[in-house]
Amino acid sequence: MAGDPRLPSVDQSDGLEARLASVRGSISDAARAAGRSADELTLVVVTKYHPASLVRQLAALGVTDVGENRHQEAQAKAAELADLGLTWHFVGQLQSKKARQVRRYADVVQSLDRDSVVDAFAPTESEPDPRVVDGFVQVNLTDDPGRGGVQPDDVEAMVERVLRTGTIRLRGVMAVAPLDEEPRRAFARLRAVSSRVTSIAPGATDISAGMSGDHAEAIAEGATHLRIGTAITGNRPDAP
Ligand SMILES: *Cc1c(COP(=O)(O)O)cnc(C)c1O
């Protein structure tokens, strides 16, 4: 990749390259321990609050998938970095009005968790043939309905709704581990939800789980997509 004029030369002094290498190493170790191949895992680097320049550095280091959780910020970065051909994952809570805009630049929406958001992806009279996005149904692994995600019991209904839109290619399920529970236990529940999903949507085998602090546990429980921020980017700047 050296010499590609779109990519900056990476300044190694800030530690980004070392942190990325360390996370990649830890992902490989966890995959090996679980008897899995690291090739079946997609690393999504969550770059929220960080400037576009950091995303450009990550691309220079071979990162292909990035995650964002706020529409305006994501939209601006995706536009500024359109030349890089990155895969953009939207991982934040959505409202239906924003959802229509998110699908213009996001390749993957990981936070489908409400009827109104799913319905926003359906064709309309003014947009009869919208861009198709990949989607994950977000599952709430806590008892608190205020946290993002559908309750496990409601996942089948949501999956059927997603399939009916015709404009979302369902990839699987996504979740964040609760703060007050051993993550591996929570991810085991997600894995059980995933197998219910694949019984009605056989292609939707992906599991997005695992962040900076719990990606090894997620890999042990079958995660295919890891959403890792601070362990790679360093601490996030304050929310702008
Ligand atoms: C911020 C965020 C992440 C990354 O979290 P880190 O702890 O920084 O790795 C993962 N998933 C979602 C949904 C996020 O909002």
DSSP track, 121-148: TS--SS-SSPPPEEEEEEB--SS-TTSS
Which CATH number is 101's domain given?
3.20.20.10
Tell me: pLDDT of 12 over 60. no
Tell me, what amino acid is at 115?
D
The answer as to whether 185 is a domain residue is yes
pLDDT score of 23: 98
E strand or H helix at 169, and its extent? strand 168-174
Please work out whether the CB of residue 176 comes within 6 Å of at least one atom of ligand 1.
Answer: yes
pLDDT score of 60: 97
Query: Hey, whose CA ends up nearest to atom 4 of ligand 1?
Result: 229
Q: How far is the CA of 123 from the centre of ligand 1 (A)?
A: 30
Q: Which residue, 16, 120, 123, 90, is CA-closest to 60? A: 16
Contact 162, 137 (CB under 8 A): yes
- Domain span at residue 137 reads 16-233
The answer as to whether 112 is a domain residue is yes
**What is the percent of the chain where pLDDT is above 90?**
89
The per-residue pLDDT for range 188-203, each reduced to its tens digit, is: 999 999 999 999 999 9
Tell me: pLDDT of 10 over 90. no
The per-residue pLDDT for range 206-222, each reduced to its tens digit, is: 999 999 999 999 999 99
Average pLDDT value for residue range 18-44: 97
Q: How far is the CA of 127 from the centre of ligand 1 (A)?
A: 32
- For CA atoms 77, 15, 36, 156, the dihedral sign is negative
Tell me: pLDDT of 13 over 60. no
Residue 237 pLDDT class (50, 70, 90 cuts): confident
Q: Which residue, 77, 122, 82, 74, is CA-closest to 100? A: 122
Using DSSP's 3-state secondary structure scheme, residue 34 falls into coil
Task: Find all residues with CB under 8 Å of 197, minimum gap 6, and list them.
Answer: 137, 155, 156, 159, 172, 173, 204
The per-residue pLDDT for range 57-75, each reduced to its tens digit, is: 999 999 999 999 999 999 9
Report how many domains make up the chain: 1
Q: How far is the CA of 229 from the centre of ligand 1 (A)?
A: 6
The answer as to whether 239 is a domain residue is no
Please work out whether the CB of residue 91 comes within 6 Å of at least one atom of ligand 1.
Answer: yes
Residue 6 pLDDT class (50, 70, 90 cuts): confident
The answer as to whether 2 is a domain residue is no
| pTM (2 d.p.) | 0.94
Q: How far is CA 25 from CA 28, 176, 231, in A?
A: 5, 22, 12
The answer as to whether 50 is a domain residue is yes
The answer as to whether 103 is a domain residue is yes
pLDDT score of 3: 59
Alpha carbons 208 and 110: distance in angstroms, whole number: 8
The per-residue pLDDT for range 223-235, each reduced to its tens digit, is: 999 999 999 999 8
The per-residue pLDDT for range 89-122, each reduced to its tens digit, is: 999 999 999 999 999 999 999 999 999 999 999 9
pLDDT score of 8: 72
Q: Which of 42, 45, 65, 69 to mutate to test the pocket of ligand 1 (most atoms within 8 A of CB)?
A: 69
Query: Hey, whose CA ends up nearest to atom 10 of ligand 1?
Result: 227
Please work out whether the CB of residue 48 comes within 6 Å of at least one atom of ligand 1.
Answer: yes
The answer as to whether 4 is a domain residue is no
Tell me, what amino acid is at 162?
V
Query: Hey, whose CA ends up nearest to atom 7 of ligand 1?
Result: 212
pLDDT score of 240: 62
Contact 108, 133 (CB under 8 A): yes
Ligand 1 atom closest to the Cα of residue 227 is 10
Count CB-CB contacts under 10 A for residue 183.
23
Q: How far is the CA of 134 from the centre of ligand 1 (A)?
A: 19
Residue 1 pLDDT class (50, 70, 90 cuts): very low
Q: What is the DSSP string of 178-238?
A: -TTS-HHHHHHHHHHHHHHHHHHSTT--EEE---TTTHHHHHHTT-SEEEE-HHHH-SPPP
Tell me: pLDDT of 28 over 90. yes
Alpha carbons 74 and 81: distance in angstroms, whole number: 10
Tell me: pLDDT of 165 over 50. yes
Please work out whether the CB of residue 230 comes within 6 Å of at least one atom of ligand 1.
Answer: yes
Please work out whether the CB of residue 229 comes within 6 Å of at least one atom of ligand 1.
Answer: yes
Please work out whether the CB of residue 227 comes within 6 Å of at least one atom of ligand 1.
Answer: yes
Question: What are the b/e assignments for 212-236, b being 16+ CB within 10 Å?
Answer: bebbbbbbbbbbbbbbbbebbbeee
The answer as to whether 171 is a domain residue is yes
